[in-house]
Amino acid sequence: MATRKTTPQPTADAIVVARAILGMPVDTTTLAEPLATVIRETASAKKNHLAAFKASAKKHGLKNADDLLKAARDVDVNATPANNAGLGVISSDTILTTTYPDPVWAVPKYLPVGLAILAGAPKMGKSWLALQIAQAIAAGGVALGERVKQGAILYLALEDSPRRLQDRMRKQSWTRGLPADFLTVGQFNSQVGDLKNGGGERLANQIEARGYRYVVIDTLSRSIQGDQMDPDKMTRELEPLQEIAHKTNAAILLVDHHRKGAGENPDAIGDILGSTAKSGVADTAWGLYRERGKSGAKLAIVGRDVSEQTLALSMDWVTGVWQCDGDADALELTERRQEILDALADLNEATFDEVAKAIGQDRSNTRKRLQDLASIGIVNRKTKGNKILYTIP
């Protein structure tokens, strides 16, 4: 019985060399150096690509240049490379040696490009926050204390009428002539529809055509159908949005709700209503926490490209704008320290137990804060008998 002879498939490197020499388009993203540089210089040559390859290979010390040329003579330039089985893999050398651009930010330090979720309890001011960021980006202004790059925005206000939007925009001092587009209540289903069945493609086309830098879907519940506790359902619904965001270099912010009982121990990811698949797909999660009747709030931020942090916010209901007061943890620590200093001023001198009782703080935390204050000289520490006393200098 005759043995069938098989022709070995060409390597990816040989195919790229062959295409470059023939002046065809090439992709160097999966190539290691110095071959990637040699191929780029070969492809950029005006004429005689073979001579350009040889010259560049010599210049950059490509040791296997002759072997690659020999292999390139016999390859089908449209063949599937044998060494990657048709997958567009990237070598470790390419990853390690490539200079990748920094993440693009809708709001520097807080909201990068990608899919983000802003969640909170009902009537907490989430929509006001999303809308003021939209205004800042459309106008090239300031959001959360950070100067933002100007760009077009799309706001899908799925729970608001044009009249309600007008009231809020006037309160926030929106001006005419900004590159800002809106869809209001009732328009999403007729103009966008199910994200899996053509809606995602229509939304992506709109984002690409207008070049939106920031897109808000307010609320997520109005834009999807079905059980939000179903992880498969949520993944299928949200993945197209994440792909759209990265493909178009936009930040897509989904306004969502917190589960019942959220806020006792704020968790921007764990407190999102419904399946954990939501936070699993999202690149960034924002959690807005505010006590009813108070203007102050905390914005917990966590994500793949953003540092985990918590901002202290305060709402000016006259202008409908959230103000960023800084790092919430640092501000809270400052407030707690001031309470200790106020107590010592009243007590004259006191043990840490007496200070803790006076301010109603945990004993262990009070001890540490007193020690910190003493170490930097704001508080004096002295021994009297078997007691350690603290005083203000």
On whether both 251 and 360 belong to a single domain, the answer is no
Could you tell me if residue 225 is inside a domain? yes
Could you tell me if residue 7 is inside a domain? no
On whether both 81 and 225 belong to a single domain, the answer is no
Other C-beta atoms lying within 10 Å of the C-beta of residue 133: 26
On whether both 171 and 259 belong to a single domain, the answer is yes
On whether both 212 and 281 belong to a single domain, the answer is yes
On whether both 311 and 342 belong to a single domain, the answer is no
Helix (H, G, I), strand (E, B) or coil at 384: strand
Closest CA to 199 of 183, 179, 178: 183
Strands of 86-179 (E only): list them.
Answer: 105-107, 111-112, 114-120, 142-143, 146-147, 152-157
Confidence at residue 82, expressed as pLDDT on a 0 to 100 scale:
53
On whether both 148 and 260 belong to a single domain, the answer is yes
On whether both 167 and 276 belong to a single domain, the answer is yes
Distance CA 38, CA 59 (A): 9
Q: Of the candidates 316, 346, 381, which is a domain's last residue?
A: 316
Could you tell me if residue 172 is inside a domain? yes
Could you tell me if residue 351 is inside a domain? yes
Distance CA 259, CA 273 (A): 4
Could you tell me if residue 327 is inside a domain? no
Confidence at residue 4, expressed as pLDDT on a 0 to 100 scale:
38
| CA distance to 218, 224, 232, 235, per residue, from 227 (Å) | 18, 9, 10, 12
Does residue 259 carry a pLDDT above 80?
yes
Of 195-199, 333-337, 379-383, the one with minimum mean pLDDT is 195-199
Q: Which residues, 6 or more positions from 226, have their beta carbon under 8 angstroms from its beta carbon? A: 233, 237
CATH of the domain at 164: 3.40.50.300
On whether both 70 and 142 belong to a single domain, the answer is no
Q: How many domains does the chain have?
A: 3
On whether both 146 and 88 belong to a single domain, the answer is no
Helix (H, G, I), strand (E, B) or coil at 324: strand
Distance CA 344, CA 350 (A): 7
Distance CA 344, CA 391 (A): 6
Counting Cβ atoms within 10 Å, is residue 20 exposed (0-12), middle (13-18) or buried (19+)? buried
| Per-residue pLDDT tens digits for 357-377 | 898 877 778 888 888 787 667
| Per-residue pLDDT tens digits for 319-367 | 999 999 888 877 777 888 888 888 889 988 888 888 888 988 777 788 8
On whether both 262 and 149 belong to a single domain, the answer is yes
* 17-42 mean pLDDT: 85
Is the pLDDT higher at 237 or at 81? 237
Query: For residue 2, what pLDDT band results from cuts at 50, 70 and 90?
Result: very low
Confidence at residue 27, expressed as pLDDT on a 0 to 100 scale:
78
* 71-97 mean pLDDT: 69
Could you tell me if residue 341 is inside a domain? yes
Q: Of the candidates 316, 343, 371, which is a domain's last residue?
A: 316
CATH of the domain at 377: 1.10.10.10
Range of the domain at 221: 105-316
Q: Of the candidates 48, 78, 97, which is a domain's last residue?
A: 97
Could you tell me if residue 4 is inside a domain? no
Confidence at residue 80, expressed as pLDDT on a 0 to 100 scale:
57
Could you tell me if residue 199 is inside a domain? yes
* 186-198 mean pLDDT: 82
Distance CA 299, CA 121 (A): 12
Of 21-30, 282-291, 321-330, the one with minimum mean pLDDT is 21-30
pTM for the whole structure: 0.68
pLDDT, averaged across the chain = 86
On whether both 336 and 312 belong to a single domain, the answer is no
On whether both 113 and 133 belong to a single domain, the answer is yes
Half-sphere exposure of 256 (CA within 13 A, CB side): 31
Contact 136, 224 (CB under 8 A): no
